Chains A and B, each alone.
Chain A
Amino acid sequence: MKTLSRTSGALLLGTFLFLCSCKTPLAPPEAQQAEVLDQALWRSGASFYAQENYVQFKQSLKSAKEKIAREKAKFGWFRDYEPIRAEFRELLQNGEDLLAKVEGLKSSKSKYYSEQAAALSARIERLKQMTDYFNENGPVRKNLAQAEIKLSEAGLLLQKEQFESMGNYLSDSMTFIRQAEQAMMDVLSRYMDRKELEKWRRWADETIVESKAKETIAILVNKLERKLTLYKKGVAVGSYDIGLGKYGLSDKLYSGDEATPEGRYHIIRKIPSSPFYKGLLINYPNEEDQKAFALAKNKGLVPAETGIGGYIEIHGGGKDNLTKGCIGLNDRDMDEIYRQAEVGTAVTIVGAVSVENTILADIKKFEKNG
């Protein structure tokens, strides 16, 4: 019994030593590291940002894992993980490179789209400032509001690192910005037309020359620069800021279009007291306006039952007041003009007189960008 027990002890010790000394080689730790790396790649969005490389990594990982499984199937003594370890080391290196590539790509995309969004935001702001100046608050501001909403949505996507979708929203925002610019150009393109500018310049020159020749007072209104200049015997004696209507930069065509007429007029009545302080009524529509209205009516450009309109005045009430087509001034300025103007005083209203002005330069810039 004692012998048996000794034998058992020896057997036990032998087995233990056998299992310990002939311990099978350990599976390469790189295999588990590769699993962790795969998880990191998946979380970083590698399948999206570097799909091809990630698929390649996954295939290599699968192949390496299969090799481990095959090796494990062998009897312990015959296992050799060294070639597989080398393969895993290469896989890990590739995976680390891929992870760096994905992170770099995400970072550059984030930077790129943030810059794009900032540029669009600045463009919207600049357009808004222009609309403030021009009073063009219809389709331009509507489109700008839509552009801002798209930009805001893009910002939310940036926070979620959804760059591709964000790109689409930025593109949508840009579309609305272009529509806003186009709407602005529809109104302002006339101001870049050399023929129009020459015509307005001619009207202005003739008005000044007449004022000098006849030794009279004359009023010149420049719509683009929002200025009224008072001439005495051909010499400018006063310059005043003015306000126009909602569509003041357009040439008046019919009643209710809220546009300010352009042409050579004269004062037909002085109004000492009106809801807008004081007024100087001009002879709109003149002969040219009536011709233009008839032509437009024939072409169907004027709504049915709509007349040509009238009662266009230079009046007080404030330059910040939005008129319906009249020219608004601050009361103190109105007092000065009212005092000097008489029935018959020439009033010439032009779009612009100079090609070289900053406003036109801005418009040209928009046209170029568009």
Chain B
Amino acid sequence: MKGLTKNLVLVLAIAVVLTGCKQPTQLIDDAKAAIEDVTKAGADKYAADDLKKLNTDLTAALDEVNAQDKKFLKKFGTAKEMLTKLKTDVDALKAALPAKIEAAKNAAIQLQSEAKAAIDEAKALLAKAPKGKGTAKDIEAMKAELTGAETAFAEIQTALDAKDYIGAADKAKSIKEKAAAVTSQVKAAIEKKK
């Protein structure tokens, strides 16, 4: 009787091995839904690298499912672990997203300050640039360009107010670059005058 029980357990175990390993469909769907959800929450803008990694992990998990699916003895354990970890990572990213958005905001504000400093530096340099023979025309042109950069500067705050921190940062970078170009030109004009 004891042997029969043992054998029945063994039979059941084989049955489970051969028929019980189902694809982790629900886990896949959950992971995909979670990724879409965190993307909508702004991860594509504020955590692009993290999101890319999550997508890579998802692809890896799907590849694992795919590989097991082709086997006679399917073992979805690893895929399940991967998908479970992925879901945990997505949840972690979702929890960290507000901090990342805040960091993007702070970075944009920092770039705004840098753009302002670049404009101020160019202005100061323009003010003391010699407006003599050969440089006066250039100085006038640079003054006008700097006025353009100053006018555009106001758009950074507009973007910040609209919570478009990436846009604000891009604007600040472009303005800073323009102001720096003016500074270089003024220096060149001063050099020309020497």
Tell me whether A and B are bound partners. yes
Which residues of A pack against B, CB within 8 Å? 4-5, 8-9, 11-12, 15-16, 19-20, 23-24, 26-27, 29, 31-33, 35-36, 39-40, 42-43, 65, 69, 72, 76, 131-132, 135, 137-146, 148-150, 152-153, 156-157, 243, 246, 317-318, 320-322
Majority DSSP secondary structure for residues of B touching A: helix
Q: What residues of B have a CB within 8 angstroms of the CB of A141 in the complex?
A: 141, 144-145, 148
A71, chain B: closest CB distance, angstroms: 13
Q: What would 27 A/B residue contacts be, using CB atoms closer than 8 Å?
A: A8-B3, A11-B7, A24-B19, A26-B69, A27-B69, A29-B66, A32-B23, A32-B65, A35-B66, A40-B59, A72-B22, A76-B19, A138-B144, A141-B148, A146-B148, A146-B151, A146-B152, A148-B178, A149-B149, A149-B174, A149-B175, A152-B174, A156-B173, A320-B133, A321-B133, A322-B131, A322-B136
Kindly state the separation between the CA atoms of A9 and B4 in the bound complex, as whole angstroms: 9
Chain B residue total in the interface (Cβ 8 A): 48
Kindly state the separation between the CA atoms of A143 and B134 in the bound complex, as whole angstroms: 24
B116, chain A: closest CB distance, angstroms: 14
Q: What residues of A have a CB within 8 angstroms of the CB of B22 in the complex?
A: 72
Kindly identify which residue among A42, A243, A321 contacts B132, using a CB–CB cutoff of 8 Å.
A321
* A318 & B152 in contact (Cβ 8 Å cutoff): no
* A135 & B152 in contact (Cβ 8 Å cutoff): no
A23-B18 in contact given A141-B144, A320-B134 (Cβ < 8 Å) = yes
Query: Given A16-B11, A144-B148, 11 other A-B contacts at CB below 8 A?
Result: A4-B1, A8-B4, A11-B11, A33-B66, A39-B58, A142-B151, A148-B178, A149-B149, A153-B174, A156-B174, A317-B133
How many inter-chain contacts with C-beta < 8 Å in the A-B complex? 133
A76, chain B: closest CB distance, angstroms: 8
Within 8 A of A (CB), among B9-62: 10-11, 14-15, 18-19, 22-23, 25, 28, 32, 55, 58-59, 62
B50, chain A: closest CB distance, angstroms: 14
A145-B14 in contact given A36-B66, A39-B58 (Cβ < 8 Å) = no
